[in-house]
Structure 1
Amino acid sequence: METLNNIVLTIQHYLADYILIIALLGGGIWFTFRLGFIQVRGFGEGMRRTFGGLFHKKGEAGADGMSSFQALATAIAAQVGTGNIAGAATAIAVGGPGAIFWMWIAAFLGMATIYAEALMAQKYKQVGADGEVTGGPVYYIRAAFKGGFGKFLAALFAVLIIFALGFMGNAVQSNSIAASFHTAFGIPQPVMGVVVAVIALFVFVGGMKRIAKVTEIIVPIMAALYIVGALIVIFYNWRNIPYAFHAIVVGAFNPAAISGGAVGATIKLALTKGVARGLFSNEAGMGSTPHAHAVAKVNHPVEQGFVAMTGVFIDTFVVLNLTALVIITTKSIPTGLTGAELSQYAFSTLYGKGGDIFIAICMFFFAFSTIVGWYFFGQANIKYLFGPKAVKIYSVLVCVCVVLGSLAQVDLVWNMADCFNSMMVIPNFIGLIVLSKTIKKVHDDYFQNYAKKK
């Protein structure tokens, strides 16, 4: 087991710190220039569509799909997870405050990548045998490569995402909930695991309609709760806000110049940890969120592309940024803590024991919404591989993983989840690059034809 774990760690090290950073940053730069800095040009329209969906009629999710807002809520449910509490803290603890600057860069470029993903998910979506709209990388990978290679690459992606997110990933999320509730309230972890599994199964059996309803309700609530709680801490330490931004910008290029920075932090560490955590937090380029954006009811694929970019913005520039500012303004880095423990400590500087409770509640919302989102993404690929009849078995297996994940943290399972996460980027990225001409064609059609007529 130890040998296998070391092999997985070695593979993950080369994937996350080298191959994926080069590929995803390169892809982000490519799509940014090819699509004319769409993350800047389309930002206002994306915000209008997102918050228009929040405050006005959202539409209903029938058996055939979701409203645009519900699709975004499902995507954000998956994006905003424990990584926004633990991931940012780990990046800061290892790479120093400067890691946050590189998270910003990764998110800015990722907005162009996720726009491209949403366009292809919309263009190649299909109606399944059960009458539901479905879509995602397996369908646009098949469009990119005809014949046996396309079938192999699509099947490889499907298997990887089912294990990475549906099974092992959801076990990780469950463990985060169980551990935080045990710390805050003393609830035994197995009990919390069973509770989460029962609630999750109730959502799963309701199909796409119930998933859409749950995410469109829970996502605004969890975002508002965390934003308010974090802002209170930040404004309480308002004198340190200028220091925080100074530490982030200067630390990106000269970590040693930042007083109280992470011991041994270098520019390479700040860049690699910041970019890696940023990319895996907002999931741009990973091929996960296109499953949600594929089922949105829109008149043109680009309309959902605008909305998809907003999801990355909310995940990184709002939620994850708040975690970073809480940690830096409270000057919690020198404690030597990392992950969720560092975030809990930072909040407890103002809230005391209430900090543990606040993090536990936020962790429940963040992690449970991610379980729902990741289940939905895996479900689309279960249907692709085995048909709609296999969904019931998949639902039960996910709930079993949720219960098992709450019992104890098994390093091999956690590391394999990260490794499979990294591996599934590769077939998705290859498909997007091959389809870059099609992406540009759909993009140009909107601005040159549809938008003008509208």
Structure 2
Amino acid sequence: MQELNSYLESINSYVGEADWFLFLLLGTGLFFTVYLGFPQIRYFRHAINVVLGKYDKKGEAGDASHFQALTTALSGTVGTGNIGGVALALHIGGPAALFWMLVTAFFGMTTKFVEVTLSHKYREKTADGTMAGGPMYYMKHANFKLFNLNFNGVSKVLAVVFALATILSSFGTGNMPQINNIATSVKTTFDVDPIITGSVLSVLLALVIIGGIKRIVKVTEKLVPSMALIYFLGAFSVIFYNWENVLPSLTSIFTNVFSGTAVTGGFLGAGFKFAFNNGVARGLFSNEAGQGSAPIAHAAARTEEPVSEGMVAILEPFIDTILICTITGLVLLSSGAWKDKFQNDFATTDIEVIAKVMEENPENQRAVFRHLEERELLPDYNGDLTIKDGKFVDDVTIIHARSFAENVRVTKDGQPYNGTIPAEDGDVSLPDGVVVSGKSLVHSAPLTTQAFRLGYLGDWGKYIVSIGMLLFAFSTAISWSYYGDRATTFLFGNKYVIIYRIFYVIAFFIAAFVEAKIIWTIAGITIALMTLPNLIGIVMLHKEMKSTVGDYWEKFRNRD
């Protein structure tokens, strides 16, 4: 697992977490925000009216209402990114990471507006009578020109690349991280084996997605509002309980943006780059603006006006990231859980063994922080670690989840372990059945679970996270199955959709018991593979986008 994760992280460092990719993502949103005159602000009220059906006309082509299309797209984005993703961003980048998530969402509102409008404009009716759309369709049909040069041949290639990436991303974004976080949360809260969780939910997933888009929108239009209400009630029970920490928490989000976060509690600090990279990356994972996924759901909307559906899409990053992720961030910050250590079983991929004893004092905390940022590396341990009566015999320091591990115990089948554990460059390979546990920082869904316990509901708060995680993540998996089957239809035709769905359900089951860090790394890679051709495509069509918006407002002003 360590070798696989290291290999995947090296790939991701050149794509999803690379500086050029993150700046391209923000830069595209910034360009269209200025080019179209801040549509996320000017058109916000109009977008709400469109969702409420104020301008609907009878008999328009499509398979879903504006509201159903919105909830389906939201169910595809509101998931582990809002619960586990925010926690992971804060864990690595500190409070300033939330600021960069919000910036990503603000510009992402415009990016969503553009990609949904263009994709809806070129949607098609498939052989089974349903609508199919998405970036691969505008890439297939639109006239790509830049500086008076024709790039239509390139656009056809981009369409294929995007569709293939969508299928991969349906597994890496909408499938595997969702069930993995559900299984982890249910295990933490109810002590249910991940295999059981994966088995039950895989069957339910299969029953829903077999019904196609019409069954999916019926499920999501009821599921999304319900899960949001449950989650908000639990979140505000923590925020109000820790009300005196709310203002300092909000302040910390903005004051550390360029300076980074200093050592506090078990948190060893984070510089600007960690906050920026993780905030933008987790922001994209949360709202998927620029990724090209939401346009696939919006293509099913009943409307003949592509821009009106683009208006609806403006609301998605606002709801998903600016509202829900901010609320999650305030829960984590106001409760103090993000910098506290908790008793937990250590994930192998989060363990690092340093070949010297380092007490947890300010000087050594700074040394380990520099090591984690790869500025001044400390010597990692190589060789066999000796374990006697469940304790490490060698003079080493155990780092887990970017923090000094305390009260470390090694067990096998619940009993103290005696034997050895091999380590290479600080990474350990645990023998079958061996578990390392102790007190350390935690991240992802387990961190949010701990934070929800620090409010009016006490230990009952953890059930809110488990229920919210189950509903949020399961609905995301449902929506992404639709994205993948539309991409499969585009590439291979309707008859191959059933094969895709079978593999989708199998992967959903397997990912329930794979380590979370590997899943997040895979997600980062597949997001980048899908996002890059879409960003290139919408930039190529920037003039067409502006003229399409102009035509819409002209018709709107002259409507009966």
TM-score by length of 2: 0.76
**1:361 aligned onto 2:472:** no
Task: Report deviation, 1:144.
Answer: 4.6
Matching residue of 1:332: 337
Task: Report deviation, 1:19.
Answer: 2.3
Matching residue of 2:446: 341
Residue 31 of structure 1 aligns with an amino acid whose one-letter code is: F
Which of 255-264 and 119-128 deviates more? 255-264
Distance 1:7 1:61, change over 3 A: farther
Matching residue of 2:293: 288
Question: What's the C-alpha RMSD, in Å, of the aligned pairs?
Answer: 2.4
Q: Aligned partners of 1:414, 1:258: CA distance in 2, in Å?
A: 25
Which deviations, in whole Å up to 9, do the C-alpha atoms of 1:372-417 show, x marking residues without a partner? Answer: 1110111110100111111112121111111111233375555333
Task: Report deviation, 1:61.
Answer: 12
Q: Aligned partners of 2:306, 2:115: CA distance in 1, in Å?
A: 10
Q: Which runs of 4+ in 1 moved over 6 A?
A: 56-63
Counterparts of residues 194-273 of structure 1 (less than 5 Å): 194-256=199-261, 262-273=267-278
Q: Computing the radius of gyration over CA atoms, which structure comes out larger, 1 or 2?
A: 2
Q: Aligned partners of 1:24, 1:79: CA distance in 2, in Å?
A: 17
Which deviations, in whole Å up to 9, do the C-alpha atoms of 1:309-355 show, x marking residues without a partner? Answer: 11110001111111100011111222122211211111111233323
Counterparts of residues 401-412 of structure 1 (less than 5 Å): 401-409=507-515, 412=518
Matching residue of 1:37: 38
Tell whether the 8 Å contact from 2:61 to 2:304 is kept in structure 1 after alignment.
no
Which of 376-385 and 294-303 deviates more? 294-303
Matching residue of 1:389: 495
Q: Aligned partners of 1:407, 1:337: CA distance in 2, in Å?
A: 18
Which of 260-269 and 135-144 deviates more? 260-269
**1:305 aligned onto 2:310:** yes
Which deviations, in whole Å up to 9, do the C-alpha atoms of 1:95-154 show, x marking residues without a partner? Answer: 111111111111110100000011111101011121111100111112255654333221
Residue 213 of structure 1 aligns with an amino acid whose one-letter code is: K
Residue 299 of structure 2 aligns with an amino acid whose one-letter code is: A
Tell whether the 8 Å contact from 1:78 to 1:371 is kept in structure 2 after alignment.
yes
Distance 1:331 1:296, change over 3 A: same
Tell whether the 8 Å contact from 2:92 to 2:274 is kept in structure 1 after alignment.
yes
Q: Aligned partners of 2:55, 2:179: CA distance in 1, in Å?
A: 33
Which of 170-179 and 301-310 deviates more? 170-179
| Corresponding pairs, count | 451
Task: Report deviation, 1:49.
Answer: 3.2
Which deviations, in whole Å up to 9, do the C-alpha atoms of 1:180-231 show, x marking residues without a partner? Answer: 1122122221121111111111111111110010010100001111111101
Matching residue of 2:110: 112
Tell whether the 8 Å contact from 1:28 to 1:110 is kept in structure 2 after alignment.
yes
Matching residue of 1:90: 88
Residue 50 of structure 2 aligns with an amino acid whose one-letter code is: R
Q: Per the alignment, in what secondary structure is the counterpart of residue 287 of structure 1?
A: coil
Q: Per the alignment, in what secondary structure is the counterpart of residue 349 of structure 1?
A: coil
Matching residue of 1:151: 156
Q: Per the alignment, in what secondary structure is the counterpart of residue 452 of structure 2?
A: helix
Task: Report deviation, 1:17.
Answer: 3.5
Matching residue of 1:184: 189
Q: Aligned partners of 2:8, 2:204: CA distance in 1, in Å?
A: 32
Q: Aligned partners of 1:182, 1:259: CA distance in 2, in Å?
A: 29
Residue 36 of structure 1 aligns with an amino acid whose one-letter code is: G
Q: Per the alignment, in what secondary structure is the counterpart of residue 257 of structure 2?
A: helix
Tell whether the 8 Å contact from 2:75 to 2:220 is kept in structure 1 after alignment.
yes
Q: Aligned partners of 1:99, 1:297: CA distance in 2, in Å?
A: 38
Tell whether the 8 Å contact from 1:21 to 1:275 is kept in structure 2 after alignment.
yes
Q: Aligned partners of 2:197, 2:181: CA distance in 1, in Å?
A: 10
Q: Aligned partners of 2:483, 2:58: CA distance in 1, in Å?
A: 20
Q: Aligned partners of 1:44, 1:325: CA distance in 2, in Å?
A: 26
Q: Aligned partners of 2:212, 2:446: CA distance in 1, in Å?
A: 35
Q: Aligned partners of 2:22, 2:516: CA distance in 1, in Å?
A: 27
TM-score by length of 1: 0.93
Q: Per the alignment, in what secondary structure is the counterpart of residue 37 of structure 2?
A: coil
**Greater RCO (CA < 8 Å, at least 6 residues apart):** 1
Q: Aligned partners of 1:67, 1:401: CA distance in 2, in Å?
A: 31
Q: Aligned partners of 2:111, 2:173: CA distance in 1, in Å?
A: 25
Matching residue of 1:436: 542
More strand by share: 2
Residue 388 of structure 1 aligns with an amino acid whose one-letter code is: N
Q: Aligned partners of 1:62, 1:451: CA distance in 2, in Å?
A: 20
Q: Aligned partners of 2:56, 2:238: CA distance in 1, in Å?
A: 33
Distance 1:189 1:7, change over 3 A: closer
Q: Aligned partners of 2:538, 2:338: CA distance in 1, in Å?
A: 39
- Percent identical: 39
Q: Aligned partners of 1:219, 1:451: CA distance in 2, in Å?
A: 34
Task: Report deviation, 1:169.
Answer: 4.1
Distance 1:432 1:284, change over 3 A: same
**1:19 aligned onto 2:10:** no
Task: Report deviation, 1:168.
Answer: 6.8
Q: Aligned partners of 2:252, 2:520: CA distance in 1, in Å?
A: 31
Matching residue of 2:147: none
Distance 1:102 1:410, change over 3 A: closer
Q: Per the alignment, in what secondary structure is the counterpart of residue 255 of structure 1?
A: coil
More helix by share: 1
Which of 157-166 and 130-139 deviates more? 157-166
Task: Report deviation, 1:259.
Answer: 5.8
Q: Aligned partners of 2:212, 2:60: CA distance in 1, in Å?
A: 10
Which structure 1 segments of 5+ residues have no match? none
Q: Aligned partners of 2:108, 2:282: CA distance in 1, in Å?
A: 12
Which deviations, in whole Å up to 9, do the C-alpha atoms of 1:63-108 show, x marking residues without a partner? Answer: 9421111111110001101111111111112111111111111111
Residue 82 of structure 2 aligns with an amino acid whose one-letter code is: N
Residue 295 of structure 2 aligns with an amino acid whose one-letter code is: P
Matching residue of 2:169: 164
Q: Aligned partners of 2:90, 2:238: CA distance in 1, in Å?
A: 18
Tell whether the 8 Å contact from 1:61 to 1:209 is kept in structure 2 after alignment.
no
